[in-house]
Amino acid sequence: MTDLKLVPRFQRFLKNAVFSFLAVLLLTSAAPGAEGRESAKYIFLFIGDGMGEAQVRAAELYSLGSGTGKISFSSMPVRGKMSTSTADGAVTDSAAAGTALASGFKTKNGILNMDPSGTKRFLTVAMLARDRGMKVGIVTSSFLNDATPAAFYAWRPSRTDWYEIGEQLAESGFDYFAGGGVTRRRGRKGNLRDVYGLAREKGYRVLGTREELAAAKPGAPIIAPGSAGALPYDMDRPKGSLSLAEYTRHGIRLLDNPEGFFLMVEGGTIDWACHRNDAAALVHDMAAFDAAVKEALAFAQTRPKETLIVVLADHETGGMSIDGTASAAQVYAVLSNQHRSSEVFDRKIEEFRRGKDRSFEKMLPVITETFGLHSLTEGELNDLRAAFAQSMKPKDQRKRDRNYLRRYGPYEPLSVTATRILGRKAGITWSSFGHSGADVPVFAQGAGSASFAGEYDNTEVGRILMYLLPSR
């Protein structure tokens, strides 16, 4: 006897499945020259989360100033510019932006791979690649169930449904997940089944060490978390721990097969550095991101006519700008003086706040040691003193009025003030602690890369990638 309670659920499933099928059919049939179109057997999509034009320029100057040379993707032969608005607003979050890049459709902020009503599910280019027999990998320096990586394998009405997103990761059938770990893997209350345990039941190997990953052979799908959550900023990365580039290199090795693969690599902590207005952490994470791109470029040398590499951002973060007169020598000389991220400095502030002698004069050498701020104007010293006074207050006793939020946002006042002062000395300024609606750059090379030239909406990226998948 049919359980009548299941009928509405089945009807909803059927409706969503039909919607997704028709969406993919529309995208594929809309491809120009669909019968004989160019395709890419090996597709790399690199997403520098929060990476706008100024972020790229700062990273380029820092790299040149260090003697390393230009960043690799700035020399790619195809350049484009992409708008990033959502279904109902000018400024996107990573869920709506990731949805557009992965599926070719707009949605509202906070919604992951579903329409603005949160009822209809979208298929993604990664899912379609999997269904066409290609292997699929997801690498990120953020946590694996964060919005951008999740946009390629999951669908939820809220991006903060982390446990449910983790369940969908285990069910995805993708071949390689690496970088950060799964957060809230036992649910918000810690009382649900471990996501890694669910993944093991689906055939995944969960590898926790460098040695285990190095010894892994192609075959069984792999989850390789380098952290309980996001990876540390690259400037704080412990010696001997795997880099974003190494996770990418292992992914290429494990995914390579005659049917091809799709690999998405996210520099997720680029965005976090920009939220903090931490230019030094930003350029180090951009260098780590570029090193990952170089792994794809090395692979492409062996199969240039079959490989597509696309490097872009989901949105810009921080309203960053860089002085047109800033030189490579200046940017490197200033930013290389900072030895740890502002996040690490937050912990120093917390320790200092618990101490007995909480004077600014005692804290000043710690500021100098961390940020290299040896030469300060009277105005800069006053700004640091004011921020120090706020940071010494318990967080619940700070008056978070408009002026406070404009100066410090949701971050530790002393940390933000120090990074902004350092940034200004390098010719870098920030207008906010959030995302902006600015267009972002796109770089591409290889099979089908000409499609990424010009100006277009972020939804076009998902559609073009679907067009370029090999047909089966």
Separation in Å, CA 203 to CA 16, 57, 143, 174, 386: 27, 43, 21, 11, 55
List phi, psi (to 5°) of 425.
Answer: -65, -25
Contact 355, 313 (CB under 8 A): no
pLDDT-based confidence at residue 11 (cuts at 50, 70, 90): very low
| Cα Dmax for the chain | 82
Separation in Å, CA 241 to CA 172, 247, 339, 435: 27, 11, 18, 30
What DSSP designation does 445 have? E
pLDDT digits (tens, 9 = 90+) for 421-463: 999 999 999 999 999 999 999 999 999 999 999 999 999 999 9
Q: Please state, in angstroms and rounded to a whole number, the distance separating the CA atoms of residues 326 and 170.
A: 47
Tokens of 271: 């965005």
The whole-number pLDDT of residue 357 equals 85
Mean pLDDT throughout 304-333?
A: 97
Separation in Å, CA 276 to CA 148, 171, 460: 19, 34, 30
Residue 22 pLDDT exceeds 70 = no
Sorted by where each starts, the structural domains of the chain and their CATH numbers stand as 40-321+434-468 (3.40.720.10), 334-426 (no CATH)
pLDDT digits (tens, 9 = 90+) for 356-403: 888 999 999 999 999 999 889 999 999 999 999 999 999 999 989 999
Residue 17 pLDDT exceeds 70 = no
Cα Rg, the chain, nearest whole Å? 23
Separation in Å, CA 188 to CA 160, 164, 185, 239: 10, 11, 8, 32
Residue 16 pLDDT exceeds 50 = no
Percent of all residues in the chain with a pLDDT value above 70, rounded to a whole number = 92
Alpha helices in 30-161 (DSSP H): 53-66, 94-103, 125-131, 147-150
What DSSP designation does 237 have? P
With tokens 């379609």, the residue in question is: 128
pLDDT-based confidence at residue 38 (cuts at 50, 70, 90): confident
Q: Please state, in angstroms and rounded to a whole number, the distance separating the CA atoms of residues 332 and 63.
A: 8
Q: Please state, in angstroms and rounded to a whole number, the distance separating the CA atoms of residues 121 and 20.
A: 6
The whole-angstrom distance between residue 460's C-alpha and the CA centroid of its chain comes to 19
What proportions of the chain, in percent to the nearest 5, are helix, strand and coil?
45, 15, 40
pLDDT-based confidence at residue 20 (cuts at 50, 70, 90): very low
Q: Please state, in angstroms and rounded to a whole number, the distance separating the CA atoms of residues 319 and 420.
A: 13
pLDDT digits (tens, 9 = 90+) for 54-100: 999 999 999 999 999 999 999 999 999 999 999 999 999 999 999 99
- Measured torsion, CA atoms of residues 192, 160, 96, 224, in degrees rounded to the nearest 10: -50
Residue 114 pLDDT exceeds 90 = yes
With tokens 């939820």, the residue in question is: 156
Strand partners, 264: 45, 138
Separation in Å, CA 129 to CA 42, 205, 287, 471: 10, 22, 29, 9
The whole-number pLDDT of residue 449 equals 97
Contact 432, 73 (CB under 8 A): no
Q: Where are the beta strands (DSSP E) in 201-356?
A: 205-206, 222-225, 261-267, 307-312, 316-317, 321-322
pLDDT digits (tens, 9 = 90+) for 120-145: 999 999 999 999 999 999 999 999 99
pTM: 0.92
Count the neighbouring beta carbons within 10 Å of the beta carbon of residue 2. Answer: 7
Q: Which long-range contacts (CB under 8 A, 24 or more apart) does 408-414 make?
A: 409/275, 409/433, 409/434, 411/275, 411/276, 411/342, 411/346, 412/342, 412/345, 412/346, 412/349, 413/386, 413/387, 413/388, 414/345, 414/349, 414/363, 414/367, 414/384, 414/387, 414/388, 414/390
Q: Please state, in angstroms and rounded to a whole number, the distance separating the CA atoms of residues 240 and 363.
A: 31
